[in-house]
Amino acid sequence: MLHEYSPATVGGEINLWYEAVKRNHRELAVQLKDKVSGMLEQMLPDHKVVTFYQLVSFKHDKFLDEHWLNLPYYSNAPQPTDEMDCLLDFFSYYLHAESLMESKDYRNAFKYFSRAEDMLTQIDDPAERAEFLFRFGRACYSLHLYGEAHLQLTKALTLYEQQYGYERAQASCKIYLSDVENWLGETNRASQLISEVLRVEENLGDLKPRVLGVSGLHAMKAMNYEEALKHFERAISDDEYATTIDGVQSKILLAVTYFFLEQDHHARLLLNHAEYEAKANNYENLLAICLILRGLHDYRDHTYVEEGLKLLSEPGLERVYYDTTVFISRYYEDLGQLDYALYFLKKTVDLKLMHPQLTLT
């Protein structure tokens, strides 16, 4: 079956249906149930959305005063209780937050995640609680609330570590936590987390190349270019990963690593491949970075660098902008062009002044 709808999209529609039921909009509720039921059949599997659908459907049937006990689908359904209403509200806030995350409305997503967190005691399954905390932590990360992200991701990791068979989920937590630790200035802890993930790489499946890409980035930031080279090359050897946005980014970072190692021929070949794939897939942020690299290494003209940075100055790209300005400043410092090095370093400082919640290393 072709999966046309994401769980976040369907969850958002179920929320509209739930609101119609709560507000006693009978005709609208019936229309929305029909719509959601069709979407559910074409949705990527997600047990949370299915559970929310079942709970809202049960409340919908009671709202319409149907003789629900005779319906085989709900033959084991519980009697309505305050606890069930709390559970419905939890899923409503949670999945609305997920829908907002998909549309990159991170600020409102945080608000609804916070409301759902207040009701987390309704969830008995520790793995379910861990998944919620992980997703909440990701939302905080997207908003650059690194202290809160650290708190939520650490709680999620603790719960996952108490369960058997959640190695992949633990790895995902550690990847995000390592990035958070970097932003909080704990670079040694960040590297330790990635090393822990790589020790169990046989359990990572398709997550493995992403871990290698992150590990390569850590090594590059530490100016351990030979180590970075090994990790990036292993990452992009996975054909499926290599054309994703993370994979193309790893190719660009590998090209940068080659430039640092003064292997310009290899660097330019990789940059050509990465630029082609970024254009083919409309990865605009990565095209901006390619433009910056062209300005530094091909055109030797910092106006191209400025143009690329301007493209990276959009809201939500603060981390990319920061990493890029640090790299550019280091590049000019290595060339002995200290005026340019200080000029681009000032852009990093200006970013800090505009976003004081960022802890820049």
- Write out the two tokens for 20: 């119609």
pLDDT of residue 79: 46
pLDDT of residue 82: 63
**Distance from C-alpha of 163 to C-alpha of 174, rounded to nearest angstrom:** 16
Task: For the full predicted model, state whether its pTM sits above 0.85.
Answer: no
**DSSP state string for 153-214:** HHHHHHHHHTSTT-HHHHHHHHHHHHHHHHHTT-HHHHHHHHHHHHTTGGG-GGGHHHHHHH
- Cα angle 216, 197, 273 (rounded to 5 degrees) comes to 30
- Write out the two tokens for 295: 């300005």
3-state helix, strand, coil in the chain (%, to 5): 75, 0, 20
CA–centroid distance for 216 within its chain: 18
pLDDT of residue 330: 86
CATH 1.10.3470 fits 1-123, yes or no: no
| 329, 344 contact by CB (below 8 A) | yes
pLDDT of residue 80: 47
Residue in 272, 277, 262, 318 with CA at minimum distance from that of residue 293: 272
How many residues belong to the chain? Answer: 361
pLDDT of residue 1: 47
Distance, first Cα to last Cα, the chain: 47
pLDDT tens track for 195-216: 888 887 777 778 889 889 988 9
- Write out the two tokens for 109: 């997503």
Would you say the C-alpha torsion 43, 45, 49, 53 has a positive or negative sign?
positive
Task: Delimit the domains of the chain by residue range.
Answer: 1-123
Largest CA distance in the chain: 81
Position 232: which residue type?
Answer: F
- Cα angle 231, 236, 240 (rounded to 5 degrees) comes to 140
Residue in 10, 76, 72, 8 with CA at minimum distance from that of residue 41: 10
Residue in 100, 128, 126, 124 with CA at minimum distance from that of residue 113: 100
Low-confidence ranges of the chain (pLDDT < 70): 1-3, 62-83, 355-361
| 254, 236 contact by CB (below 8 A) | yes
